[in-house]
Amino acid sequence: MTRAPSWTVEGRDWPNRAASRFVETPRIRWHVQVMGEGPVLLLIHGTGAATHSWCDLAPLLAERFTVVAPDLPGHGFTTGRPVGGLTMSAMARAVGDLLATLALDPQAIVGHSAGAAIGIRMTLDGLAKPKALVGLDAALLPFPGLAAKLFPTLARMLFVNPFAPHVFSAIARTSGETAKFLERSTGSRIDAAGVGYYERLFATPAQCSGAITMMADWDLEALKRDLPRLAVPLLLIHGGADSAIPPANAREAAALVADAAVTILPGLGHLAHEERPAEVATIIETFVGAR
């Protein structure tokens, strides 16, 4: 069996642990954090991450909102798989089921990277009716050129290789490798504690498997075709030094949506919200508060 992160081991001192709870929906046992009071704000993390990605941002937003932050299926301490696997549509439906079980209706959805795509998919499919959407270094468009074919193919090859998650987790357990990977692949420099959370998750093969499976099942072509149908105000906040998704992608995606704006944060990378949470919180609060 592929070992998954354990709440008593990897989660022993998890950030904002007091806000954590476990919630059952069909086929899934969710780890979700709920904190604060006020209008509901849903946070959806990106591929390979978990609720630790919001460790500093969530408490700031909780001063004005009821913040809801789940670990996506295949990630963190959430166990089980939705019908349809880890495709974008299946993930959107699964998060919709979680919100229904919690009896919460988000006024706004904030998603990081692939999490932004899930939030937009939920909105387009009528699974949520937010008044505002925020994408943090959002992954909304297909990879350009050869990468469009290469990356999904590589992800599928790794997915069918049962040893791949174990190889990646072994690399993550090598001293300093996670920090090097994060800086190289994201352009962000986060503190040692933040790196440590990624390190302990990726040291478990199940986290690596979840990230690989999600990449293999992702369909951004369909999302790009549907973006012009989005009728909810959208703000894309993007790190100017993002080495994973160029800022130009944010501008291109915004051009497809009738009511969309882009804010570039110079010098920050793909994990901009982890680098400067206070700055990002202020931008989100201003945008959502105006709706």
pLDDT digit string, tens, across residues 6-26: 999 999 999 999 999 999 999
Q: Provide Rg for the chain, Cα atoms.
A: 17
CA 99 vs. chain centroid, Å, equals 16
- List the chain residues with pLDDT less than 50: 1, 145-151, 153-154, 156-167, 170
Considering the entire predicted model, what is its pTM?
0.91
CA distance 251 to 264: 10
CA distance 111 to 194: 18
Q: What is the pLDDT of residue 159?
A: 45
Report the greatest alpha carbon distance in the chain.
49
Q: Where are the domains of the chain?
A: 17-144+220-289
| CATH 3.40.50.1820 describes domain 17-144+220-289 | yes
